[in-house]
Amino acid sequence: MRSTMPEHPLTITSIMRHGTGLFGDREVVTYTGTGYRRTTYHELARETARLAGALRGLGVDGDQRVATFAWNTTEHLAAYLAVPSMGAVLHTLNIRLFPEQVVYIANHAEDDVVIVDASLVPLLAPMLPEMKTVRHVIVVGGAQVDTTPLEAAGKELHDYRALLDQAPDHFDWPEPDEHSAASMCYTSGTTGHPKGVVYSHRSAYLHSMSVCTANAVGLGAGDRVLPIVPMFHANAWGLPYAALMAGASLVMPDRFLQGEHLARIIADERPTIAGAVPTIWADLLRHARQHDSDLSSLRLVPCGGSAVPESLMRALEDEFGVRVVQAWGMTETSPVATVAHADSWELRATQGRLLAGVEGRLVGPGDTVLEPDGVQVGELEVRGPWVTASYHLDEDTSRFHDGWLRTGDVGRLDANGYVTLTDRAKDVIKSGGEWISSVELENALMGHPAVLEAAVIGVPDERWGERPLACVVLDGTAEVAELRDFLRGKVARWQVPERWAFVEAVPKTSVGKFAKRALREMHARGELTVVQL
The catalytic residues are 187, 332, 430, 435
Q: Residue 275, interface with ligand ADP (CB under 6 A)?
A: no
Tell me how far, at minimum, the Cβ of 303 lies from ligand ADP, in Å.
7
DSSP codes, 411-453: EEE-TT-EEEEEEEGGG-EEETTEEE-HHHHHHHHHTSTTEEE
Given 29, 103, 250, 421, the residue binding ligand ADP (CB under 6 A): 421
Under 8 Å between Cβ of 101 and 194: yes
Of the pair 234, 288, the CB lying nearest ligand ADP is at: 234
Rg (CA), the chain: 23
* Out of 64, 72, 85, 306, the residue judged to bind ligand ADP by CB under 6 A: 306
Sign of CA dihedral 198, 26, 211, 276: positive
Shortest distance, CB of residue 164 to ligand ADP, whole angstroms?
32
Residue 280 in contact with ligand ADP, rule: CB under 6 A: no
Contact 158/147 with Cβ under 8 angstroms? no
With b for 16 or more beta-carbon neighbours within 10 A and e for fewer, the 429-446 pattern comes to bebeeebbbbbbbbbbbb
Which window, 240-248, 322-330, 387-395, 474-482, contacts ligand ADP (CB under 6 A)? 322-330
The count of residues interacting with ligand ADP (CB under 6 A) is: 21
| Spatial CA neighbour of 300 closest among 313, 286, 283, 290 | 313
Q: Which is nearer to ligand ADP, 145 or 315 (CB)?
A: 315
Site string for ligand ADP, 107-146 (x = CB under 6 A): ----------------------------------------
Q: Which residues contact 531 (CB under 8 A, 6 or more apart)?
A: 480, 499, 500, 501
Terminal-to-terminal C-alpha distance of the chain: 71
Please state, in angstroms and rounded to a whole number, the distance separating the CA atoms of residues 180 and 178: 6
Among 47, 409, 440, 442, contact with ligand ADP (rule: CB under 6 A): 409
Work out how close the CB of 188 gets to ligand ADP at its nearest, in angstroms, rounded to a whole number: 3
Residue from 187, 200, 203, 437 in contact with ligand ADP (CB under 6 A): 187
Supply the minimum distance, in Å, between the C-beta of residue 221 and ligand ADP.
28
Q: What is the b/e burial string over 478-516, where b = at least 16 CB atoms within 10 angstroms of the residue's CB?
A: bebeebeebbeeebeeebbbebbbbbeebbebbbbbbbb
Which DSSP letter does residue 107 get?
A: H
Q: Work out how close the CB of 94 gets to ligand ADP at its nearest, in angstroms, rounded to a whole number.
A: 8
Rank residues 26 and 412 by Cβ distance to ligand ADP and give the closer one.
412
Nearer residue to ligand ADP within complex by CB, 92 or 306: 306
Q: Phi, psi at residue 217, to the nearest 5°? A: -100, -20
Amino acid at 432: G
CB of 67 to ligand ADP, least distance (A): 17
The answer to whether residue 331 forms part of the interface with ligand ADP (CB under 6 A) is yes
Check binding of 183 to ligand ADP (CB under 6 A).
no
Q: Closer CB to ligand ADP, residue 294 or residue 414?
A: 414
Minimum CB distance to ligand ADP smaller for 474 or for 515: 515
- The distance of closest approach from Cβ of residue 317 to ligand ADP in the complex, given in angstroms and rounded to an integer, is 17
Per-position x/- string for 504-533, each x denoting binding to ligand ADP as judged by CB under 6 A, each - no binding: -------x-x--------------------
Amino acid at the residue 492: A
- Rounded to a whole number of angstroms, the minimum distance from the CB of residue 338 to ligand ADP is 8
Q: Which of residues 6-65 bind ligand ADP (CB under 6 A)?
A: none
Q: Considering only residues 422-481, where is the footprint of ligand ADP by CB under 6 A? A: 424
* Amino acid letter, residue 239: L
477 half-sphere exposure, CB direction, 13 A CA radius: 0
SS3 171: coil
Residue of the chain from 115, 234, 250, 301 that contacts ligand ADP (CB under 6 A): 234
Pairing of strands 378-383, 404-413: antiparallel
- Report CA-CA distances (Å) from 372 to 192, 296, 404, 439: 32, 38, 16, 21
Least spacing, CB of residue 407 vs ligand ADP, in Å: 5
Determine if 328 is a binding residue for ligand ADP (CB under 6 A).
yes
326 touching ligand ADP, by CB under 6 A: yes
351 binds ligand ADP (CB under 6 A): yes
For residue 365, whether the previous peptide bond is cis, meaning omega lies within 30 degrees of 0, is: no
Binder of ligand ADP out of 330, 444, 472, 506 (CB under 6 A): 330
Residues in contact with ligand ADP by CB under 6 A are 187-188, 234, 304-308, 326, 328, 330-331, 335, 351, 407-409, 421, 424, 511, 513
